[in-house]
């Protein structure tokens, strides 16, 4: 996506499962887009997905599609 979104008023959400070490990603729901950033570097790069792309990713996580292969 090449469009530049104004993220200055985005409300960032951090999972309650992230723990106390503060190392987590944050997400912001922006209408038909979802922004993702590193909580340790809030001024760093941000990834932006369509809502459909985000749903597909979240569904894959729930189904275990991104689990690391078992070591041999």
Segment 30-35 mean pLDDT: 94
Question: pLDDT at position 68, please?
Answer: 86
Flag whether 27 is in a domain: yes
Flag whether 41 is in a domain: yes
pLDDT at 45 over 70: yes
How many independent structural domains does the chain possess?
1
Contact 37, 45 (CB under 8 A): yes
Flag whether 20 is in a domain: yes
In which domain, by residue range, is 19 found?
Answer: 13-62
What is the chain's alpha carbon radius of gyration, rounded to the nearest angstrom?
14
Flag whether 57 is in a domain: yes
Question: pLDDT at position 20, please?
Answer: 66
pLDDT band at 1 (very low <50, low <70, confident <90, very high): very low
Flag whether 3 is in a domain: no
Q: How far is CA 65 from CA 15, 17, 19, in A?
A: 20, 20, 23
């Amino acid at each position: 996506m090449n469009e530049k979104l104004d993220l200055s008023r985005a409300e960032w959400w951090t999972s309650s499962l992230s723990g106390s070490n503060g190392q987590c990603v944050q997400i912001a729901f922006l209408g038909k887009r979802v922004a993702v950033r590193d909580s340790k570097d809030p001024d760093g790069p941000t990834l932006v997905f369509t809502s459909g792309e985000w749903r597909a990713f979240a569904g894959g996580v729930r189904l275990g599609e991104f689990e690391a292969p078992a070591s041999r």
